Amino acid sequence: MGRVTGLVPSRFLTLVAHLVIVITMFWSREINVRASLPLEFTKEEYDSQDRQLVIALSVTLGLFVVELAGFFSGISMFNGTQSLLSVAAHASASVSLSFFIFERWECTAYWYIFTFCSALPAATELVLFVAVFG
């Protein structure tokens, strides 16, 4: 089987790009929280939407820890399938989350991006952990 040389740096760069955008979202989440609410809203409604987005972003950061641990430990660094999935998912997440911030999407849209672009690669990373150590 031939060695794929460009996937390791591509995977690292897309992981870092997605991570930077998620950290930026912590700073600018007020815009998206307001987009999720009606024109007239209460403080409780705002706090509920803000809490939901903070939880989603925090879980995303936790999944980054899982993926970066697998990547830097070498368990999945040279696995071509995992690298391709990770590059595709995190590149898609970077583009989608850029639109999420700039176009002021509702917070519920984040859960779709989270599922396909953060949870899926982290789940496959955990499967690799089990395959290697199990």
pLDDT, residue 134, reads 80
pLDDT tens readout for residues 91-119: 999 999 999 999 999 999 999 999 999 99
pLDDT, residue 3, reads 60
Is residue 11 helix, strand or coil?
A: helix
Cα–Cα dist 104/32, whole Å: 5
Where on the phi/psi map is residue 101: left (φ > 0), alpha (ψ -120 to 50), or beta? alpha
pLDDT tens readout for residues 40-65: 999 999 999 999 999 999 999 999 99
